[in-house]
Every structure is written in C-alpha cells, then in structure tokens.
Amino acid sequence: MTVKPRVVIVGSGIIGASVALACQDLGAEVVVLDQGPLGGVASRNSFGWINASFAETRAYFELRHAALAGFRFLDQRLGLGGHIRWQGTLWWEDAGADFTAQFNTLTQRGYPAKLVSQADIAALEPQLRHPPHQAILTATEGAAQAQNVALAILAEVARRGGSLQEHTSVKWVKQVAGRIASVHTQERDLACDAVVLATGAAAQTAVIGLDWALPMANKQGMILQTEPLDQMINHILMTPDVHFRQNPDGSFVAGEIFSGEIGPDVNAQDLAAEVVARIQTKLHDIPKLRLAEVKIGMRPVPLDGLPVVGSVPGVQGAFAAVMHSGVTLGPLVGQLLASEILKGVQSSLLTPFCPARFS
C-alpha cells in the first residue's frame, strides 16, 4: 500500500484552503491548522476584489492575470455563485495623467480594459447619480466574499478526508537532518512531509524550530458591510473617495481608502458612517443603508509589497504562501505551490516571488 505524503497547512484563509485542496488533488493527505476559527482573519476582512488591474511589475501582472482563470475554474468546480459575482469593474479613482497612465499600462499588458464615456457609464449604471466624464471598464473581473469561499473550499477538503483543526496553535516544528519531520501543537504531534505557512500578517513571527520569519509591512484597514438591499449597482465601483460593490445577497461592501491605514486616533464607527454616506449620495433612489458589520483587520503585506510563495531557504519541506491580494491569487497559488511541494516542479510564474529573496 502506498503511503500518502502528509502536508500540514498552517492557516485556513483562502490561501491555506486553496493549498490544501490542490495538495489533495495531487494525492496528499492534508491537515489544516488555524490558531483561530476556520476561514482566516485576512479573508474575513477582505474587500474581495478579483483583479489584475494593479501590479507593480510585469511578473506580478502575469501571475494575477493567470489567477483570474484559476478563480473561475474554482467557481465552476465548487459552485460558488452564492459567494462570487463576476460583475466587472468601473474604475475612475484617479484623473488626468494618472488615469491615462493606468489605461495605457493595462492595454500595453494586453489586459481587456475598455475606455467608456459618461453616456456609456450612465447606461451601465443607471442608479449612479453623477457619472464621471470617463472610466475604465474591466469586464472580466469580479468579487468574492472571501471567508465564505475559504469555508466552501475547506468543506470540500473535509469531504475528501482532510483534517481541519481550528483554535489550534503551532508550538514548534521539528527538523531531522535539515528536513521538516513534524509539527507540534498544544494537543498533539503531527508527523509530516511538508509544512506550509499560510499565516498572513502573522508570518512576521518566527515558528520555533524553523527559525525563519518574513519581513512584513502589515497595514490595518477597515471593511464595512451593510444589510441587504435589492441589487442597485451592476459593477464594482472604484471612485475617488470610496470603493464599493454589492454581494450576491444584496449587501454592500466598502473599504476605507482615505489614508490607506486606520490610525489609533480614528473612530471606526464614525469613519464607517462617513463611508456609507458617500455611497448613499452617489446613487439615485437608494433606501437608507444600514450598517451590519464594521471589520477592522490587519492586511498582510510582505515588506516589498509582492507575494512570497515557495520553499523556505535552508529547510527542506518548509514552504510559505503569504501575500496581499490573496483573494485574487489564492486558487492559482494553491495549484502552483502544490505542484512544487509534491512534484518538485516550480512554475515560472512563481520564480520571482520566492522567499529566498529576503535571505
């Protein structure tokens, strides 16, 4: 009887869940551990935009662009329609030279972006009170309720025999001859062939026995969600003073974008009320928006802003998968990293994002 390799994934957000499912697809036994509830902290606090519109480098764009197809495949495989809308994006956050530069970058990279006029925007979004002079339409994009997607993936992992353990902290890992041999929690020891750190913002804290940590530039941010309404808007709307969209259930989701970070002197409820008011004034005949939830969370951002995916330097069997834009990248990164873990094959898409660049 062939013994399946065992992979322990630390972190149960959309990235950890995707890695677990992809490892199962390649024949591994998987164990998913999370120090909190299943579904992950970052996934719960994500705006959920699935896109390749913004990428600092060509290599990062290629990874994100490929990830869109990976997410659509996952959607079809698991029937995630209750948690995802492929509604496309209308973007006019910037104006003037910055707007032109963004459009030129997208078209030069071959991204399906279209310049639309004020009349076009009014037809696409009839409820929009003051359509801008122009916007960029990226029709292939979508948005997900990331934690719900992560939980749906984990349910499939469990259905196929995977082990899911929430409220379980990793105390240390054991190496034998420079290779991962086991992971130790507060409850038991798990022999394993590989461990994946999909720990988001917590990746800046070293795991005892691994002696590796990722330099991070984490940022605190806010996501708010309203009570459901009838569908009022057709796209993800990225405006100069608020980003917002509607979930399949009709609830609005918006992100705080004024400072890029929530400071200690900011009252979250006051800021959330301001964001809701901005949405309210942008739409015709919209019922009063009522806040259902205000979420303050830490956004995991590696020090250079780019994904960190691949083998941890100096330790066989240890891998990392930490990034901002984890919602967009999760399903594809899961597939590519599983192939590296279990087949020893590194995708050229991941080569620029190896953890070794911080060594």
Whole-angstrom distance, CA of residue 303 vs CA of residue 305: 6
Q: Which of 315, 320, 31 is nearest to 188 (CA)?
A: 31
Strands of 49-50's sheet in order across = 49-50, 142-144, 84-85
Q: Which of 281, 299, 317 is the last residue of a domain?
A: 299
Domain with 19 in it: what CATH number? 3.50.50.60
By percentage, how much of the chain surpasses pLDDT 90? 87
When pLDDT is cut at 50, 70 and 90, the band that residue 44 belongs to is confident
- Count of domains forming the chain: 2
Residue 230 lies in a domain: yes
Mean pLDDT of 105-109: 97
DSSP string, 292-320: EEEEEEEEP-BTTSS-EEEEPTT-BTEEE
209 and 109, same domain (yes or no): no
* Helix, strand, coil percentages, rounded to 5, for the chain: 30, 25, 40
Q: Which of 284, 299, 314 is the last residue of a domain?
A: 299
Whole-angstrom distance, CA of residue 268 vs CA of residue 271: 5
Residue 52 lies in a domain: no
230 and 284, same domain (yes or no): yes
Q: Which of 254, 281, 299 is the last residue of a domain?
A: 299
Domain with 251 in it: what CATH number? 3.30.9.10
152 and 175, same domain (yes or no): yes
pLDDT tens digit sequence for 276-310: 999 999 999 899 999 999 988 888 999 999 999 99
35 and 125, same domain (yes or no): no
227 and 295, same domain (yes or no): yes
Q: In this structure, what DSSP letter does residue 27 have?
A: T
Whether residue 4 has pLDDT greater than 80: yes
Whether residue 229 has pLDDT greater than 80: yes
pLDDT of 99 reads 98
Q: What is the mean pLDDT of the chain?
A: 94
Q: Which of 36, 9, 32, 146 is nearest to 80 (CA)?
A: 146
Range of the domain at 266: 89-139+219-299
When pLDDT is cut at 50, 70 and 90, the band that residue 267 belongs to is confident
pLDDT tens digit sequence for 230-263: 999 999 999 999 999 999 999 999 986 544 455 5
Identify any residues that bridge with 261 across adjacent strands, giving them in sequence order: none
121 and 16, same domain (yes or no): no
Whole-angstrom distance, CA of residue 80 vs CA of residue 289: 26
Write out the two tokens for 198: 């999909």
pLDDT of 266 reads 66
pLDDT of 42 reads 86
124 and 231, same domain (yes or no): yes
Mean pLDDT of 12-30: 98
Residue 56 lies in a domain: no
> Taking CA 105 as the corner, what is the angle to CA 132 and CA 58, rounded to the nearest 5 degrees?
140
Residue at 235: amino acid letter: H
Write out the two tokens for 220: 């605190």
Of residues 13 and 187, the one with the higher pLDDT is: 13
Identify any residues that bridge with 180 across adjacent strands, giving them in sequence order: 175
Asked if residue 119 lies in contact with residue 126, where contact means CB atoms within 8 angstroms, the answer is no
pLDDT tens digit sequence for 154-201: 999 999 999 999 999 999 999 999 999 999 999 899 999 999 999 999
pLDDT of 264 reads 61
Q: Which of 278, 256, 276, 332 is nearest to 45 (CA)?
A: 256
Cα-Cα end-to-end distance for the chain: 40
Residue 340 lies in a domain: yes
Residue 244 lies in a domain: yes
Site of tokens 């002197």? 265
pLDDT of 263 reads 58
